[in-house]
Structure 1
Amino acid sequence: MHSMTLEQLRATASAGGVKGVTLKGQGGGFFVEIATRSGQDAFLVKARSTEPRRFGNPTSALIVLRDVGIAVAQLDATNWNPDQK
């Protein structure tokens, strides 16, 4: 799976290249997985890093996604544990 910065996600979304987004719970946080129309799926990373961007709650992730023009996302809380930090 590839990595994508917020600016890359913004550009891909505005070009219509995002097929879908999933907020994936892992431990006490959430990560953003991006399905692209080119078939090269990615995960959102921190700026100037390859480390996945972790959100403490899904609301903060949804705010970021809405700001880049993504209004629909799936939620996978299978491996989410709200008691874990």
Structure 2
Amino acid sequence: MKSETKEELTKELATKADIAEVRTEIEKVRADLSAEVEKVRAEVKVLEVRFTAELRLIKLWLIILTVLVAVFNRDALGLILEIIRLLK
């Protein structure tokens, strides 16, 4: 009975080789995950640059449209100046 129990426990326990194998797998997953994180960071940087460029373009168009409205509609010029005063 005692030897049977010992055999059962021995089968269930992890050996040093099992632990080493799991550690190796963990390190591999950690390296893969680190590589994926770096890829995502690079993609985010690219998107950030694109977003900044698009935002600048939108600001430019907003300025152009404001100037056009002010030139073609004198009543709008007073409204635009009032809005600018409120923003300050």
Q: TM-score range by the shorter chain?
A: under 0.3
In terms of fraction of residues, the more strand-rich structure is 1
Scaled by the length of structure 1, what TM-score is found? 0.21
Higher relative CO (CA 8 A, sep ≥ 6), structure 1 or 2? Answer: 1
Bigger Rg, structure 1 or 2 = 2
